[in-house]
Amino acid sequence: MSPLAKPFRAADSKGPVAQISMHADILAVFPLLVLAMTVPGTLAQNCVLTVPADPLTAKGLATPYTMKGCDQAADTPSFVEAAVYDPATNSISIYHPLVINQGTQPAAAPIVPKLPANAVVGIWFGTNGDTLTLTGAGVGAGKCVNGVQGSIFGQFAYCNAPAFFRAAKNVQAPALGTDVNGKTCPTTRDFTVVDMDQSDNVDTTYLVTANGQIAQNTAANRQKFAGAKVISNGSDNALLEYMDMFLQCSPFTGNNLEDPGAVSPALALNEIQAAQKQGSPAAIVPDGHAMVLVDGKPNRRKRNLYRVGVNQKRNAPGSTTQYCKNLANIAPTRFRDDYQKLFANVASPDPATGNQLFNFLCARYQGAFGADGLNCEGLLGIKSPVTVTVDKNGVATGCSINPVQV
């Protein structure tokens, strides 16, 4: 089974979700969609990322992060995403620092961003490997958080995120709008979008050239390196933006500082919009989220450190049982009533998980609901209301939905 559908563990692997290149017209880029390869997940891939000195400065942002333990040009790349708050304009721009394999050079030098005066920068990380560990002097300088002592989050980390969200607290996200079904457009805190490990990973994409070098995914580099492969980070964020295209919804975007004239979505923007616009009940990181466990058990300090990195209230209730009830009560009905017909003929973001988008979503839900996900079946005493049938390769080819209220 694809890593996107299989249960996630704190040291699990997750293959890339289809990623949309965000340019002037977000909804016109479907022909550019790239389906990146999935991760086999048979051997541990523990990625170690060296953070440049002074990572929150323009020079630091433009200095490539170097990775060892994983392969940026193969199936275990890592990704970095920065959001830049400008207090003078009360606006947010996005920049994508580059990651390269240790001992290599980038295909093209990263663009040095022009930061506004008194800018506040936040940085977020994701990986398609099993785990991600930050190292180097830049960890302290960037106020980076990788987990708690002796227990990293897993595939996620951040630098200076709480300060960024405090500074940007008055930025007003756009209204969610209404989708083609007449329903409010979803956010990353919608129970039809989240899975067993919400609010992880980023929207960043990179180019991989024919000789395996990495470059920022800019218009200039796409022209210079024609035929380069686009790689992306599997995430709820990327999935939401893919769904948005067919729901006729528009994600919150900011100007792309390395690609003039382009815009980009970002984890930070999605979390700001979700915090402001998501109706009740809103999904926030629960106690049973795999990346906030320590030795397999809930850990409030680790949970709270994770939450403040994604703009969530640290001490809000975190009951996994209640989270599971919301998954059971909300998602299956919307899957059946709104998504089944709309997404049945949409290309799957991961063909190794589902043969089209709807079956992919069903497989993802079933994995999250099951014993190796959030264990909602055990907590609620019911079977998953969404079940898939699979072919001999484990690909979901059918989906049965039996809505419940618990």
Tokens of 135: 């190292």
> What pLDDT is stored for residue 406 in this prediction?
97
pLDDT, averaged per 10 consecutive residues of the chain (406 residues), comes to: 33 32 33 33 79 98 98 97 99 99 98 98 97 97 98 98 99 98 98 95 97 98 98 92 97 98 98 98 97 97 98 96 99 98 96 97 98 97 98 98 97
SS3 259: coil
Given a contact cutoff of 8 angstroms between Cβ atoms, the answer to whether 208 and 37 are in contact is no
- From the number of C-beta atoms within 10 Å of its C-beta (0-12, 13-18, 19+), residue 169 rates as exposed
155-172 pLDDT, tens per residue? Answer: 999 999 999 999 999 999
> What pLDDT is stored for residue 361 in this prediction?
98
**Residues whose CB falls within 8 Å of the CB of residue 65, separated by 6 or more in sequence, listed in order:** 49, 50, 51, 52, 78, 80, 97, 98, 99, 100
**Residues whose CB falls within 8 Å of the CB of residue 286, separated by 6 or more in sequence, listed in order:** 318, 319, 320, 322, 323, 374
Closest of 325, 289, 331 to residue 310, by C-alpha? 289
Q: How many other CB atoms are found less than 10 A from the CB of residue 44?
A: 12
> What pLDDT is stored for residue 131 in this prediction?
97
> What pLDDT is stored for residue 235 in this prediction?
83
Domain ranges of the chain: 26-317, 319-406
> What pLDDT is stored for residue 240 in this prediction?
96
Distance linking the first and last C-alpha atoms of the chain: 29
Long-range contacts of 389-395 (CB under 8 A, 24+ apart): 390/1, 390/363, 393/352, 394/1, 394/2, 394/352, 395/2, 395/351, 395/352, 395/353, 395/354, 395/355
Helix H or strand E encompassing 158: strand 156-159
Helix H or strand E encompassing 60: helix 58-62
Given a contact cutoff of 8 angstroms between Cβ atoms, the answer to whether 232 and 205 are in contact is yes
289-348 pLDDT, tens per residue? Answer: 999 999 999 999 999 999 999 999 999 999 999 999 999 999 999 999 999 999 999 999
Strand order in the sheet with 99-101: 99-101, 65-68, 46-50, 131-135
Given a contact cutoff of 8 angstroms between Cβ atoms, the answer to whether 221 and 228 are in contact is yes
